[in-house]
């Protein structure tokens, strides 16, 4: 791999910044100063930048507890991106799997392995997601029956796939779905005559949001969690 590309893949530096570091003799390979950006770095070689060893960033898999008023986007828009919370090199290269609305909190999964995140978002995979919803009015047995049978969403040609409903109390439920339609949980509750006033995602597949992970905090997934997708 070219030396300038190696530096970019190992740090937050742009290609121009990497070339500047090389030109100013800040980069060594196996202890020798290298001033050529095109130098071919071998896997067995050690690269240092300004005296600190650097290495290629491997695949990363992250659990994030999304707060309100942040967006699941790779760039800041009206609201800031959740990627601002992840203080690691090249965080902007992470894919966001299973996006949440700006006012929805809870579990978001991030990775730079695009095939892995696609398994979460692909409709064919029917990856389950569990949400806790606080409702504006009492949930009824009829509403639960409709949700668990499938409901007709506005401008959708087919019924939603059956959901699973766990009633915590009359105005709090846990809803498990295997689709990822736009605003789906809110639209499903609206379709049965209710309204969501707070929404929080608890789980994706077998990955459950840690109880002790505060809003805005994140951690790397375990090998077992990665393998369950």
Q: Which two tokens mark 12? A: 């937050």
101 catalytic? Reply is yes
Helix/strand/coil for 119 = helix
Answer for the pair 65, 209: CB distance below 8 angstroms, yes or no. yes
For residue 155, the SS3 value is coil
| Measured distance CA(138)–CA(99) in Å, rounded | 28
* Tokens at 5, concatenated: 């590309």
Say how many C-beta atoms besides its own lie within 10 A of residue 27's C-beta: 26
Q: What's phi and psi for 20, nearest 5 deg?
A: -65, -40
Please tell me the distance from the alpha carbon of residue 130 to that of residue 61, in angstroms, as a whole number.
Answer: 20
Please count the residues of the chain.
229
Q: How many degrees, rounded to 5, is the angle at CA 18 between CA 16 and CA 24? A: 100
Task: Tell me which of 101, 142, 206, 212 is the catalytic residue.
Answer: 101
Q: Which residues are the active-site residues?
A: 101
């Amino acid at each position: 791999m070219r030396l300038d590309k190696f530096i970019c893949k190992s740090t937050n530096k742009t290609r121009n910044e990497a070339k500047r570091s090389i030109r100013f003799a800040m980069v060594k390979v196996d202890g020798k100063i290298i001033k050529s950006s095109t130098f071919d770095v071998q896997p067995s070689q050690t690269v240092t930048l300004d005296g600190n060893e650097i290495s290629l960033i491997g695949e990363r898999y992250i659990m994030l507890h999304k707060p309100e008023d942040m967006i699941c986007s790779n760039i800041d828009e009206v609201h800031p991106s959740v990627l601002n919370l992840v203080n690691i090199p090249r965080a902007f290269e992470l894919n966001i799997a299973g996006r949440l609305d700006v006012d929805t909190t809870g579990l978001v999964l991030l990775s730079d392995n695009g095939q892995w995140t696609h398994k979460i978002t692909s409709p064919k995979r029917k990856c389950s997601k569990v949400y806790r919803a606080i409702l504006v009015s009492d949930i009824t047995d009829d509403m639960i029956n409709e949700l668990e049978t499938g409901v007709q969403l506005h401008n959708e040609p087919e019924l939603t796939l059956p959901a699973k409903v766990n009633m915590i109390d009359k105005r709090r439920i846990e809803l498990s779905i295997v689709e990822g339609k736009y605003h789906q949980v809110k639209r499903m509750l609206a379709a049965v005559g209710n309204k969501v006033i707070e929404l929080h995602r608890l789980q994706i597949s077998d990955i459950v949001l840690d109880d002790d992970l505060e809003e805005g905090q994140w951690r790397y997934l375990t090998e077992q969690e990665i393998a369950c997708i």
